[in-house]
């Protein structure tokens, strides 16, 4: 008990304002998401929740891939060595516009296949319209990362909250005028992204993000894309480790089972709030710190963050027994066991979140990708093996194994990278490199 209190005091003493503010924003966003999911569940049942979950994940994944990992690279360039390059703002915005437009077009062309595989029971025309979410989500993600990288953490926190709150507000309004089912979900997601993106980019403009801006640069875009691709592999794989089971489960078991699993997944991911906040704050900070200072700060934070997150797993696992049926209804009782299994795998996220921030901030996103890539191999293999027989429980087991494998590899990589730098600096005649 004393160790836990000491960890909380350590976090609040050293990084009270940025970390706790980001954590509060994520909690607010999660509450909004939970309310939206609950409302969709009450109106459209498990199948509606499954459609909602897929449309929150797949279009965003398409946008990240086609933009060469743009959202993950933005903070490094805006807070690192290239931060004074005034070509950056319009280069980043142009990359988002081109990738989002191409992605929306490709999604629309693939609508018949997407309908058959993921959105059975939804019209192909509506699925094609949902391709606009590729563009809108990429604009929101880029504005959020631009706020993060330019030092406006308050602005990025605002976007984090609005991403979920805006959908809830729009969806309630659509229900009020008689819209129901997939139409209300698709329309709500598009309008919510448009509103959130407008708020994000307006704030950036008012904070002189575009002041004395230069023309978009193809050479600079290549540099951003090069970094982004190295990080994108890990970012996409991390998203796949979190959400590939959604796609496979939806394809093999249908929207109803997926809806149940979506509730389990979102409940278990409560333990990721602190690691996500730490990553968000320390990624740009490590980018400006240099390797040695960043490594020292990370080594100090890893055991404390890891212990705090792991401690929160047990009460969440026990609480699932009562909270999931009470909040979502008896139809979602089957989500309890998958949630508990997922919590086991996510217990190491406190360690992984700090190491990921360190690897990104010190220009090594490829090593992060390596760790997540190994975990993804396990996810795919176990999903295909376990989902046909065990459904949502099988998907939870597969993901848990992948999470734990990834965390172990990240710890190994961090030790090797920091030890190698220490050895090189200890060698005679070698200058210290910040």
- Residue 97 sits at the vertex; the CA angle it makes with 91 and 100, to the nearest 5 degrees, is 135
pLDDT exceeds 60 at position 119: yes
Which pLDDT score is estimated for 164?
Answer: 92
* Contact present, 239 and 57 (Cβ < 8 Å): yes
pTM: 0.74
> If DSSP states are collapsed to H, E and C, what string results for 228-268?
HHHHHHHHHHHHHHHHHHHHHHHHHHCHHHHHHHHHHHHHH
Containing 358, the helix (H) or strand (E) segment is: helix 349-361
Band (pLDDT 50/70/90 cuts) for residue 430 is: very low
Q: What is the pLDDT of residues 312-368, one digit of tens each?
A: 899 999 999 998 888 877 878 888 999 999 999 999 999 999 999 999 888 888 888
What are the extents of the domains in the chain?
Answer: 2-426
- CA–centroid distance for 253 within its chain: 25
Instruction: Give pLDDT, residue 6.
Output: 52
Beta-sheet strands, E only, within 64-199: none
| 396-427 pLDDT tens trace | 898 888 889 989 999 999 999 888 655 444 44
Between 424 and 157, the more confident residue is 157
Q: Of 402 and 429, which is predicted with more confidence? A: 402
Phi-psi sector, 431: left (phi>0), alpha (psi -120 to 50), beta:
beta
């Amino acid at each position: 008990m004393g160790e836990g209190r000491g960890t909380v005091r350590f976090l609040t003493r050293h990084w009270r304002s940025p970390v706790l503010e980001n954590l509060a924003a994520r909690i607010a966003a999660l509450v909004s998401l939970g309310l939206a999911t609950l409302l969709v569940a009450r109106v459209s049942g498990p199948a509606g929740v499954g459609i909602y979950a897929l449309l929150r994940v797949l279009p965003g994944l398409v946008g990240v891939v086609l933009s060469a990992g743009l959202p993950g690279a933005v903070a490094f360039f805006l807070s690192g060595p290239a931060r004074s390059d005034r070509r950056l703002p319009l280069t980043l915005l142009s990359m988002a516009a081109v990738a989002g437009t191409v992605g929306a077009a490709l999604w629309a062309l693939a609508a018949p296949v997407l309908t058959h595989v993921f959105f059975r029971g939804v019209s192909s025309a509506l699925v094609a319209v949902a391709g606009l979410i590729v563009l809108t989500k990429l604009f929101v993600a880029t504005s959020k990362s631009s706020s993060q990288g330019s030092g406006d953490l308050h602005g990025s926190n605002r976007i984090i909250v609005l991403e979920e709150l805006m959908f809830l507000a729009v969806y309630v309004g659509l229900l009020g005028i008689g819209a129901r089912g997939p139409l209300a979900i698709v329309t709500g997601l598009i309008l919510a992204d448009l509103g959130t993106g407008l708020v994000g980019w307006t704030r950036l403009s008012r904070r002189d993000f575009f002041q004395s801006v230069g023309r978009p640069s193809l050479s600079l875009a290549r540099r951003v894309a090069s970094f982004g691709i190295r990080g994108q592999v890990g970012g996409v794989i991390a998203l796949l480790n979190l959400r590939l089971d959604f796609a496979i489960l939806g394809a093999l078991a249908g929207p109803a089972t997926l809806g149940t699993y979506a509730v389990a997944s979102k409940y278990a991911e409560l333990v990721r709030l602190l690691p996500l906040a730490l990553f968000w704050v320390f990624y740009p900070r490590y980018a400006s710190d240099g390797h040695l200072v960043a490594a020292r700060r990370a080594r100090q934070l890893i055991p404390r963050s890891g212990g705090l997150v792991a401690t929160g797993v047990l009460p969440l696992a026990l609480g699932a027994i009562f909270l999931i049926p009470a909040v979502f209804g008896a139809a979602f009782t089957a989500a309890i066991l998958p949630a508990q299994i997922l919590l086991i795998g996510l217990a190491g996220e406190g360690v992984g979140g700090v190491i990921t921030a360190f690897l990104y901030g010190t220009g090594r996103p490829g090593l992060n990708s390596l760790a997540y890539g190994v975990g993804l191999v396990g996810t795919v293999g176990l999903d295909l093996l376990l989902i046909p027989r065990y459904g949502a429980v099988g998907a939870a087991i597969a993901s848990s194994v992948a999470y734990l494998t990834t965390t172990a590899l990240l710890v190994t990589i961090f030790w090797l990278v920091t030890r190698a730098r220490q050895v090189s600096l200890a060698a005679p005649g070698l200058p210290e490199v910040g």
